[in-house]
Chain A
Amino acid sequence: MKVQTIFSMSSPYRDDFRIKAYTFGEGEKTLCIVGSMRGDEIQQQYVASRLVALLKFAEESNRIQPGVSISVIPSVNPFSINIEKRFWALDNTDINRMFPGYNQGETTQRIAAGLFEFIKDFKFGIQLASYYLPGNFLPHVRMIHTGFEDVEDAKYFGFPYIAIRDPEPFDTVLLNYNWQIWETQAFSLYAGTTDTIDHEMARISIDAVCRFMTYKGMASLSMSGSGTQTPTIVEGSQLISIQAPHAGILIVEREAGQEVKQGNVLARIMHPYEGYQVCEIKSPVSGTVFFARNKSITFQNTLLFRIIEEGKDD
């Protein structure tokens, strides 16, 4: 295991800001795994750290293939995690809106540039990503249509779902998009939760990365599950979005990953003063809960659930 500081910067009073990379094996830059980038991505940090431990063991037991180099960057933004702030410590900018970065630009542009300089030449890239809304996902691989995406390779993770969507204007400044433009096969892995650790979801995500490394001939790793060989490809437009018709206290009845029938109650909204039920949120279709909000209050119109409709996938 080789530990490198790939970017560092002084701060006015805190310790130096450092991004560290852990590299296993020697040879072609084959796979790079990027962990937390925002200060609330604790699950992503945990999964990345477990992958470091696992790869250290794999290297020590000669399970990494000759000529293969695998790097893990557990955290791109330790400064924000340490003060429990989601975005950059001083100016609240999002590092994942700064790619490919600019080494003469503003602070987060320089951080993005420093990271990207190290990771841009890898053949494969995995970002352990989170969603901008609070909630839990079914673990899945997400890809953006760029013309460079490779759905066949994404199947090696063994997740039941691969989500693909068209790029929005802001996507062009994300890590995933820029990795692909620089000809790295990039995948965003959604490991279920964000600011809390879900051990089962973490295990599933770690298994998926091990499966990918094994099937792609990078390493020979044991896995606790077999994964699916025939994932469902879900286009963004195929997901049924369910929003809150009213605001109030949200009692969630169904979690990400659960199957539902049309008409099943997904959640209830309660009056915050008088305690009565304002409304029930029923599933408009039969299918699988892909995303479920995990906050206990809701605004009117807030996205609460996304459902993959049964029989609509292909």
Chain B
Amino acid sequence: MIQNVTSLEMPVDEEFRIVKNHFTNGKGKRICIVTGTHGDELEGQYVCYLIAKMVKENMHLLQGTVDIYPALNPLGIDSMQRGVPAFDLDMNRIFPGNSRGSMIEKVAHDIYTDLSGADMVIDIHASNIFLREMPQVRISEQTAELLVPYAKLMGIDFIWIHQAATVLESTLAHSLNSTGTPCLVAEMGVGGRISHSMCHQLVDGIQNMMFHMGIWQEEPDKSSLKESIVSQGNDAVAFLNATTSGVFITELHNDVTVKKGQTVGQIISPLTGDVLCDVKAPCDGLLFTLRAYPMVYEGSLLGRIHRL
């Protein structure tokens, strides 16, 4: 059943709506699948479609509630903008919102309130247009003890337990986790694209979690589920940042292991024909993030390596 989470008038003959698809059958736990916080991240669109299709065609297997929120930033998705158009705000930096705040703060509050109390929220992201990510779940250190077992149920390639930066305190995941609603952040793929195999893998993982939570009465095909690599600790991940501005080219793709000193890519000058910088791996490890958008400034993130 399609339900409004919140709605507001827009200036000229349009209603702003956040909607969810609410599936429920009998008593049981509630899982929420949310995505579309950033308008340039589309991987979650296909995941929502696959789960909605699975549930509506097999309602007899549902024992509890599945709520699907495919677009927390509908204006951004429909106009290919990462932030909230007209406000130039990052939707994932204003949670938990404010019921008496301005339009977008109220929207954030209504979303947060609607999700609160769920037994699990999975917040699906797709990096951005600049970086390509292998399928992973990101968890802050404070919530690792509770959330890592759930993340492992998803059979996802990689679990990154990281220190919470201050600015992340205004994310949806932090707001929910800090008030007792468990929320896992899934990252995969690249902005503006849909990677079918990754989406199917994540759906199998979510179905497996639903099965173990008692929400779904059928085990998934486990052939795509993996033993997760867990990365934790300050020095567990090496960051590759551009040391000069130019055009970044690479022959690699992410989800490969690299050796210390191996060339990850080059920053080149199309004007002069020079290689401005050889980008080399600083350590042995798993290249789980790799730059997808070639133009770089000094400091632009080129990759992340989990040290092995």
Contact = CB atoms under 8 A, between A and B. Distances in A.
A106 B300 contact: yes
B166 A172 contact: yes
B296 interface: yes
A54 interface: no
Interface stretch (A6-14, A138-146, A220-228): A6-14
Contacts of A302: 102-103
B93 A170 contact: yes
A298 B11 contact: yes
A168 B299 CA distance: 28
Contact of B9 (A247, A273, A303): A247
A132 B104 CA distance: 12
A10 B130 contact: no
Contacts of B83: 92
Which among A105, A248, A299 has the highest number of chain B CB atoms within 10 Å? A299
Contact of A243 (B102, B271, B295): B102
**Interface residues of A, dominant DSSP:** loop
B244 A241 contact: no
B1 interface: no
Interface string B1-22: 0000000111111001000000
Contacts of B217: none
Given A110-B299, A172-B166, A300 B8 contact: yes
A303 to B, nearest CB: 4
Given A10-B244, A10-B298, A302-B103, A169 B9 contact: no
Contact of A133 (B8, B12, B102, B130): B102
B130 to A, nearest CB: 6
Interface in B152-203: 166-167, 169-170
Interface string A107-138: 11110000000000000000000001100000
A104 interface: yes
A243 B246 CA distance: 46
A107 B293 CA distance: 15
A13 B297 CA distance: 10
A190 interface: no
Interface in A9-27: 9-13, 17
Interface in A240-270: 241, 243, 246-249
A91 interface: yes
A97 interface: yes
Given A97-B167, A299-B16, A301-B103, A12 B296 contact: yes
B167 A169 contact: yes
Interface residues of A, number: 41
Contacts of B12: 272-273, 297
A133 B83 CA distance: 14
B17 to A, nearest CB: 12
Contacts, number: 104
A10 B100 CA distance: 45
Contact of A12 (B13, B89, B130, B245): B245
Contacts of B128: 91
B301 interface: yes
Contact of B169 (A86, A105, A169): A169
A86 B89 CA distance: 11
A87 interface: yes
A173 interface: yes
B170 A170 contact: yes
A299 B10 contact: yes
Contacts of B100: 241, 243
Nearest to A296: B11
A83 interface: no
B247 interface: yes
B82 interface: yes
Contacts of A106: 241, 299-301
B106 interface: yes
Nearest to A16: B245
A90 interface: yes
B169 A272 contact: no
Contacts of B298: 9-10, 107, 110
B300 to A, nearest CB: 6
B88 interface: yes
Given A9-B298, A10-B244, A299 B11 contact: yes
A243 B8 CA distance: 13
B295 A90 contact: yes
Contacts of B93: 97, 170
A241 B301 CA distance: 40
Interface in A297-314: 297-303
Nearest to B246: A12
A92 B76 CA distance: 14
A284 to B, nearest CB: 13
A247 B11 contact: yes
B166 A132 contact: no
Contacts of B169: 169-170
16 contacts: A9-B245, A10-B245, A10-B298, A11-B245, A12-B297, A90-B295, A107-B297, A108-B299, A110-B298, A173-B167, A243-B102, A247-B11, A297-B12, A299-B9, A300-B103, A303-B102
Interface of A: 9-13, 17, 86-87, 90-92, 97, 104-110, 132-133, 168-170, 172-173, 241, 243, 246-249, 272-273, 297-303
Given A107-B298, A107-B299, A301-B103, 9 more contacts: A91-B130, A109-B299, A170-B169, A272-B13, A298-B11, A299-B8, A299-B11, A299-B16, A303-B101
